[in-house]
Amino acid sequence: MATGRTHRPATRSRGIPEATVARLPLYLRALTALSERSVPTVSSEELAAAAGVNSAKLRKDFSYLGSYGTRGVGYDVEYLVYQISRELGLTQDWPVVIVGIGNLGAALANYGGFASRGFRVAALIDADPTMAGKPVAGIPVQHTDELEKIISDNGVSIGVIATPAGAAQQVCERLVAAGVTSILNFAPTVLSVPDGVDVRKVDLSIELQILAFHEQRKAGEETDAEADVETVVPPVATRAPATGAAGRKGPDGDVPAVMPA
Ligand SMILES: NC(=O)c1ccc[n+]([C@@H]2O[C@H](COP(=O)([O-])OP(=O)(O)OC[C@H]3O[C@@H](n4cnc5c(N)ncnc54)[C@H](O)[C@@H]3O)[C@@H](O)[C@H]2O)c1
């Protein structure tokens, strides 16, 4: 299997930067919520807040779509929903296969949100022969022997990998050889794909690690802030001993009489 890059250049052929493409689903989610409430127009500030994006960035993003809104009125919600859906290719039905129907694959198969966003689960595929024919989310699981035929019969271009990490590259290669050109990879491994194949990786443990980093930093800032307060507040007898050591919290939250060197 050819090794290759897992990303396309930062700008797509139609001139929309990847960073903008990555924000379009956020706008679409916020706009869909407005549409469901029959809100006809929205200002860039309101929409930016709902999408969690800076409003100047939003206006720039929409300029790539040729959408500039109307001064004093804002953007037409329904039209933007249509424009963004069209840009993301969501105005057509995308058949998707999920490979690896264990805990995660079954949960994904049961997720109703794919169908409502234009992604039809065309097939569920697993290597375990005992699973073949068993329905998950109402769809019978098919054996991996059928993979190529399933892709071809259903015209599938998007594959979801939810196998153990050790199997993911081989599954990826079979999917690509069968005609899949976009892969959503949940397995904790980096996939090698040839040019022209897009890979998106989802890893919740990485997201949790990033949150852990922020939690640690917040805890550090709190400790620093407390230390700052203690350095400006004159030490009182209970906090700073007669040695005159400035009160700083030790690792257990106590106030050591003498700070370690
Ligand atoms: N990205 C995330 O946030 C996230 C979260 C949870 C799990 N995971 C990953 O998702 C994967 C699945 O996790 P799980 O808990 O569902 O595991 P699981 O063991 O319950 O399911 C794995 C399934 O893959 C099948 N399988 C194994 N080799 C295969 C092959 N070559 N072709 C097709 N099917 C094959 C197995 O028969 C099994 O049904 C793991 O790699 C796990 O690390 C990722």
What confidence tens digit (pLDDT) does each residue in 133-151 have? 999 999 999 999 999 999 9
Say if ligand 1 is within 6 A of residue 147 CB. Answer: no
The CATH number given to 94-202 is 3.40.50.720
The answer to whether the Cα torsion of 11, 12, 14, 20 is positive or negative is negative
The closest residue, in CA terms, to atom 40 on ligand 1 is: 164
pLDDT at 230: 62
* Cβ burial, residue 252 (10 Å; 0-12/13-18/19+): exposed
pLDDT at 225: 74
Percent of the chain's residues with pLDDT above 70: 82
CA distance 225 to 21: 39
CATH 3.40.50.720 positions along the chain are 94-202
pLDDT at 14: 63
Q: What digits encode the pLDDT tens for the residues 214-227?
A: 999 888 877 777 77
Query: Per-residue DSSP letters for 92-154?
Result: S-EEEEEE--SHHHHHHHH-THHHHTTEEEEEEEES-GGGTT-EETTEEEEEGGGHHHHHHHH
CATH topology for the 18-87 domain = Arc Repressor Mutant, subunit A (1.10.10)
Over residues 257-261, the mean pLDDT reads 32
The closest residue, in CA terms, to atom 30 on ligand 1 is: 127
Say if ligand 1 is within 6 A of residue 190 CB. Answer: no
Q: What digits encode the pLDDT tens for the residues 52-100?
A: 999 999 999 999 998 777 888 899 999 999 999 999 888 888 999 999 9
Question: Are the C-beta atoms of residues 153 and 122 closer than 8 Å to each other?
Answer: no
What are φ and ψ of residue 238, in 5° steps?
Answer: -75, -20
pLDDT at 103: 96
To test the ligand 1 pocket, which listed residue (99, 104, 136, 185) has its Cβ within 8 A of the most ligand atoms? 104
Distance 78 CA to ligand 1 centre (A): 39
Q: What digits encode the pLDDT tens for the residues 21-53?
A: 999 999 999 999 999 999 999 999 999 999 999
**Per-residue pLDDT at 180 exceeds 50:** yes
pTM summary value: 0.73
pLDDT at 231: 60
Scan for tokens 């060197």, then name that residue.
261
Length of the chain: 261
CATH 1.10.10.10 positions along the chain are 18-87
Q: Which of the pair, 234 or 88, is modelled with greater confidence?
A: 88
Q: Which of 129, 213, 130, 205 is nearest to 165 (CA)?
A: 205
Question: Are the C-beta atoms of residues 158 and 184 closer than 8 Å to each other?
Answer: yes
Distance 166 CA to ligand 1 centre (A): 10
